[in-house]
Structure 1
Amino acid sequence: MTSKEIPILICDDSRLIREQLKAILQSLGYDSILEAENGEEAISICASGQPSLVFLDIVMPIKDGITALTEMIDKHEDIKVVMISSTTSLAHLKKAKRLGAFDFIHKPIEVSTIEKVMTKFESNIEKALP
């Protein structure tokens, strides 16, 4: 499996954000993209589809991103989670990093930001290969 074939999960309660991020990822050549609209659904998808990379909104109904992050990392130690937030809360950033978040991005989402995250992710995959 090449890095462009890796399964990616986008979890955000905003359909518009999910569609925007999916379009950016597809424009970068990533085609295996799953979607969830809350943390509970994302955890369920991770249990069955086990994506390698998750873009996870922090503020969502049913189960917030910080809680979902904790559960994902506990059950799937190799998963990489990129937290997404429309707030610039330093407390959220510190907590997400402490819990094991791979990266942190702010809304509005820009193509250049996603390109940087994906370059970092691909570099991380290459380092993990034997």
Structure 2
Amino acid sequence: LGAGKTTLARAWLAELGHRGAVRSPSYTLLEPYEGEGWRAWHLDLYRLGGPEELELLGVRDLLAGPGLLLVEWPERGGPAVPPADLEVALSHDGPPGRRRVRLLARSPRGAEALGRLAWAEGEAGG
């Protein structure tokens, strides 16, 4: 808790072109976002009562179409949550006020995204 998951989601959505507010889905469980040529859903499953609640949220319908799915606490969704393309782990293991980020590609799409991220960081001089 408090590792910066929603802050990361906010940055990801801003990169897609989202200019509005990005709310933490801690209580709503699901926040949808849409822009020109893209759709995204931010889920926080920490307070999920069980995987069956995902059915009530209509997650199966979301997964049937194209879009970006940002999921906090995916293990709480059980098999209803598809395997991640890119796994992001945040921790407080660094200096005070900073986070350590670990990125792990779990699919060819994840490897492609990770490669683009590494290229963008190199272009920025990082």
**Fold-level similarity (TM above 0.5):** no
Higher relative contact order (CA 8 A, sep 6+): 1
Structure with the larger helix share: 1
Greater Rg by CA: 2
State the TM bucket, normalised to the shorter chain.
0.3 to 0.5
Q: TM-score, normalised by structure 1?
A: 0.41
